[in-house]
């Protein structure tokens, strides 16, 4: 089997993005563009990938990690010059794919089809082309009477007749690796920009009588190169629709896909329903038969089955089975909510273990706490976890009952089955099965108001 390699072009600064973030690091559906390309290539049987870096090289390397080798293009002198830097591949036999790091929509299936076509044709170079309804700005693929590639003409150099051609060069190629590096040495920079262009390799090979082929993908959107924020929004929309379609075909109901955001790495079980305004980001996993939204944000969290999250925010936490959250609840990082829990209106949970069957139904803050099973936290229950310098732990054991408007000043433990009276401020441990009352005793002053009225009249 022919050995296969890949070169990813990721050295450009992307000035049209008008951003301090390097172009290929801009995210599409939660993942940097270049990572989308790397992951699609990684699913193919490749011997080696080489990513060409330049602007922001260290940050691009840090993002990609050890998934690819790297070569530095210190000075950006064109696409052919960029490929020349992949000296790790020079002298190797096989097929090399060249793909741009700003094409996040390209799929492994399309690249595989390009490779297969290239090898079946016995070509020394194969261009991935596409049909564009509006080809303005793209290089045109000009074919001869036999349907073979005659040349690539850039838009600015094309005649009126050539500009009517709608088959465009996508900037993705396959090359016989030996011919690629031999031909790169023949590419000239005798042009207005003084740069070395990869399409010139195609022209040189064609002039030398080598077979140059083209494979037209039916999926024009996959070839979209992101050069500015408008193109970024287009890529985001295409990717968002692709992700939503995948989940819907796998049994997820998305009420309004146009107003639902799902990251590329999210997993969602069947019979789960997503309502409008839902944002699912990061490596979130949602189980089966869940109800999410409307206007809900879940990030980097694991949600089990049969759980409802309504108009709430969940970050970096684990939620069990048969849980109800919201509306207007906030589950902050490092929280673990067990099965059959109820977290209601305007409740904030932070870095807390919340036991099975427990409830905090409204207007509470539970932070840095361990809550046992079957605990009831009344309206206005607060764990006072911060003394201005340090955070402290509150423990509420199984079956405890915390009355409304109670403050538990950490570090403190409420024992199993204990009751805390409404309005209490607890500063010491409460023994199991005890009732703790920590508030001023009520005093009724008879006829007090009548006496006030007398004074007012006088």
Active-site option among 26, 81, 118, 362: 362
On whether 393 is known to bind a ligand per the annotation, the reply is: no
Report how far apart, in Å, the C-alpha atoms of 112 and of each of 51, 191, 215, 218, 263 are. 19, 34, 11, 14, 25
On whether 376 is known to bind a ligand per the annotation, the reply is: yes
On whether 422 is known to bind a ligand per the annotation, the reply is: yes
Spatial CB neighbours of 390, under 8 Å, sequence gap ≥ 6: none
On whether 12 is known to bind a ligand per the annotation, the reply is: yes
Q: Is 330 a catalytic residue?
A: no
On whether 227 is known to bind a ligand per the annotation, the reply is: yes
On whether 78 is known to bind a ligand per the annotation, the reply is: yes
Spatial CB neighbours of 153, under 8 Å, sequence gap ≥ 6: 139, 140, 142, 159, 162
On whether 385 is known to bind a ligand per the annotation, the reply is: yes
The owner of tokens 């009520």 is 442
On whether 65 is known to bind a ligand per the annotation, the reply is: no
On whether 398 is known to bind a ligand per the annotation, the reply is: no
On whether 73 is known to bind a ligand per the annotation, the reply is: yes
On whether 91 is known to bind a ligand per the annotation, the reply is: no
| Bind-site residues for UDP-N-acetyl-alpha-D-glucosamine | 9-12, 23, 73, 78-79, 139, 154, 169, 227, 332, 350, 365, 376
Active site (catalytic) residues = 362
Binding residues are 9-12, 23, 73, 78-79, 102, 139, 154, 169, 227, 332, 350, 365, 376, 385-386, 422, 439
Q: Enumerate the known binding-site residues for acetyl-CoA.
A: 385-386, 422, 439
Binding-site residue ranges for Mg(2+): 102, 227
């Amino acid at each position: 089997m022919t050995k296969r390699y890949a070169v990813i072009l990721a050295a450009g600064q992307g000035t049209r993005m008008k951003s301090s973030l390097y172009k290929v690091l801009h995210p599409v559906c939660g993942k940097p563009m270049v990572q989308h390309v790397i992951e699609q290539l990684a699913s193919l049987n490749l011997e080696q990938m080489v990513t060409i870096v330049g602007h922001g090289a260290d940050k691009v390397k840090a993002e990609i990690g050890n998934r690819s080798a790297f070569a530095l293009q210190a000075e950006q002198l064109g696409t052919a010059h960029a490929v020349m830097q992949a000296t790790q591949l020079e002298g190797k036999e096989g097929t090399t794919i060249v793909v741009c790091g700003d094409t996040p929509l390209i799929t492994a299936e399309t690249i595989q089809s390009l490779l297969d076509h290239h090898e079946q044709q016995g070509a020394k170079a194969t261009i991935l082309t596409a049909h564009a309804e509006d080809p303005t700005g793209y290089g045109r693929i000009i074919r001869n009477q036999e349907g073979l590639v005659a040349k690539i003409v850039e838009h600015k150099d094309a005649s009126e007749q050539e500009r009517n051609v709608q088959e465009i060069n996508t900037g993705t190629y396959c090359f016989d690796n030996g011919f690629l590096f031999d031909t790169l040495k023949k590419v000239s920079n005798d042009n207005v920009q003084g740069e070395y262009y990869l399409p010139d390799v195609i022209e040189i090979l064609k002039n030398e009588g080598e077979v140059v082929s083209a494979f037209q993908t039916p999926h024009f959107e996959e070839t979209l190169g992101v050069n500015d924020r408008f193109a970024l929004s287009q890529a985001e929309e295409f990717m968002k629709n692709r992700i939503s379609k995948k989940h819907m075909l796998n049994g997820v109901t998305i009420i309004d896909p146009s107003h639902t955001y799902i990251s590329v790495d999210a997993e969602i079980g069947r019979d789960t329903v997503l309502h409008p305004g839902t944002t699912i980001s990061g490596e979130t996993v949602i189980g089966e038969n869940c109800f999410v939204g409307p206007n809900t944000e879940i990030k980097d969290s694991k949600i089990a089955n049969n759980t409802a999250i309504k108009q709430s925010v969940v970050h970096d936490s684990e939620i069990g089975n048969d849980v109800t959250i919201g509306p207007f609840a906030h589950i902050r990082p490092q929280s673990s909510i067990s099965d059959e829990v109820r977290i209601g209106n305007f409740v904030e949970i932070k870095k807390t273990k919340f036991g099975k069957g427990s409830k905090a139904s409204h207007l509470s803050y539970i932070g840095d706490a361990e809550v046992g099973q079957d605990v009831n936290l009344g309206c206005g229950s607060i764990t006072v976890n911060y003394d201005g310098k340090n955070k402290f732990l509150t423990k509420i054991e199984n079956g405890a009952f915390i009355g409304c408007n109670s403050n538990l000043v950490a570090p403190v433990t409420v024992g199993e089955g204990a009751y805390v009276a409404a309005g209490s401020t607890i500063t010491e441990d409460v023994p199991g099965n005890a009732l703790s009352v920590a508030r001023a005793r009520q005093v009724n002053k008879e006829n007090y108001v009548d006496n006030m009225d007398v004074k007012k009249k006088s």
